Structure formats: structure tokens, C-alpha cells
């Protein structure tokens, strides 16, 4: 995860931190493991204008951006979390 993501996450209130972690643990990681795509509710899609970067919805007003990194464990996808707040796509560049 990027330093920017760490700051974004630190700025979330405890409820939103739990919501993000639950979405990742209960939905994102299992969907990633199937290698067949993400469930529609996560609304994973490419970020317009930033090749290789995707966004995921973790709450009705919560988004996180990520990219795939080089494998750390052979055969396992590696995710680099880039941003993760309520309004990342309207607030600042560099999703």
C-alpha cells in the first residue's frame, strides 16, 4: 500500500475503517481468489485516464483505488492500495 493510502486510511473514523476491512476480507479477497471477476456490488472498474489503476466501492460513499503489483507469492495476485476515502476521485489527482 502507498503512503497516501496509509494516510487516507488513518483519517477514516473507526466505523469506516471496519467497513473497508470487511469489504476487503469478505468480498474483495474471495472474489480475487476466484479469478473470475469481482461481484457487481464492489463496482470494480478502471479509473479513467490512469492506466492500470482501478477503483472499488467499499461503502455507498466510500471508494478505494488499487493496482496490481508484481507477485510477492508465486501465483498469487498482489494488490497495491493507492487511495481510500469517501471522495478520492473528486478531491485530488493521482488516484
Q: Quote the pLDDT of residue 10.
A: 93
Whole-prediction pTM value?
A: 0.83
Go through the domains of the chain in sequence order and give each one's CATH number.
Answer: 3-35+42-89 (3.30.2310.20)
Distance CA 63, CA 75 (A): 27
In order of 46, 59, 71, 91, the CA distances from 68 in angstroms are 12, 21, 9, 23
Q: Quote the pLDDT of residue 30.
A: 96
Provide the strand spans (E) within the chain: 45-46, 53-59, 62-69, 78-85
Asked whether 73 and 67 are in contact (CB, 8 A), the reply is no
Tens of pLDDT along the chain (95 residues)?
899 999 999 999 999 999 999 999 999 999 999 988 999 999 999 999 999 999 999 988 899 999 999 888 888 889 999 998 766 545 545 55
Amino acid at each position: 500500500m502507498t503512503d497516501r493510502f496509509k494516510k487516507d486510511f488513518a483519517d477514516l473514523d473507526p466505523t469506516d475503517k471496519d467497513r473497508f476491512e470487511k469489504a476487503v476480507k469478505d468480498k474483495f479477497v474471495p472474489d480475487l481468489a476466484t479469478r473470475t471477476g469481482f461481484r457487481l456490488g464492489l463496482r470494480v472498474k478502471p479509473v479513467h485516464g490512469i492506466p492500470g489503476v482501478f477503483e472499488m466501492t467499499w461503502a455507498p460513499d466510500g471508494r478505494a483505488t488499487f493496482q496490481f503489483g508484481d507477485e510477492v507469492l508465486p501465483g498469487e495476485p498482489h494488490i497495491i492500495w493507492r487511495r481510500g476515502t469517501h471522495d478520492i476521485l473528486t478531491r485530488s489527482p493521482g488516484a
